[in-house]
């Protein structure tokens, strides 16, 4: 209690007690607020798509552990929710996943070629 009173006395000595008017910040143009909100909505939609896709993959993986009904319901639920999001969020999310899958496939194919080449060298030598 003493700490609260000391804080109140300190704030009052600086002239910042709650009874004094608080200066308002200058108004901002409305256009910036709408643009920021739209950008935020897009980011949230993309993030939601990515998270739901991640959990859909996790549920697909859980299919191998047994309890297939729970895994199936989770998989279908995640996919339905992911594709009910705004079209732009789904399109951007699907494009990012496609690019990632293509890159992974390219890297895996290249890695396999290197392994095949080194196996051939080992068998010749």
Domain boundaries, the chain: 32-124
Asked whether the whole model's pTM tops 0.95, one would answer no
Using alpha carbons, select from 49, 48, 28, 32 the residue that is nearest to residue 94: 49
Residues of the chain with pLDDT under 70: 1, 4-5, 8, 11-23, 28-39, 110-125
CA distances from 112 to 98, 103, 115, 117 (A): 21, 14, 5, 9
Residue-wise pLDDT tens digits, 80-99: 999 899 898 899 889 999 99
Using alpha carbons, select from 56, 43, 101 the residue that is nearest to residue 83: 56
Residue-wise pLDDT tens digits, 70-83: 999 999 999 999 98
Task: Let me know: does 83 contact 43? Beta carbons within 8 Å.
Answer: no
Residues 6+ apart with CB under 8 A from 81: 52
């Amino acid at each position: 209690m003493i700490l609260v009173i000391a804080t109140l006395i300190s704030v009052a000595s600086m002239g910042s007690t709650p009874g004094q008017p608080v200066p308002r910040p200058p108004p901002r143009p409305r256009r910036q607020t709408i643009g920021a909100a739209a950008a935020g909505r897009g980011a949230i939609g993309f993030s939601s798509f990515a998270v739901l896709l991640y959990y859909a993959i996790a549920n697909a993986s859980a299919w191998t552990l047994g309890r297939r009904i729970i895994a199936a319901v989770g998989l279908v639920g995640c996919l339905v929710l992911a594709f009910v999001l705004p079209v732009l969020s789904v399109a951007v999310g699907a494009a990012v996943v496609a690019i990632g899958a293509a890159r992974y496939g390219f890297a895996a194919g290249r890695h396999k070629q290197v392994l095949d080449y080194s196996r051939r060298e080992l068998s010749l030598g």
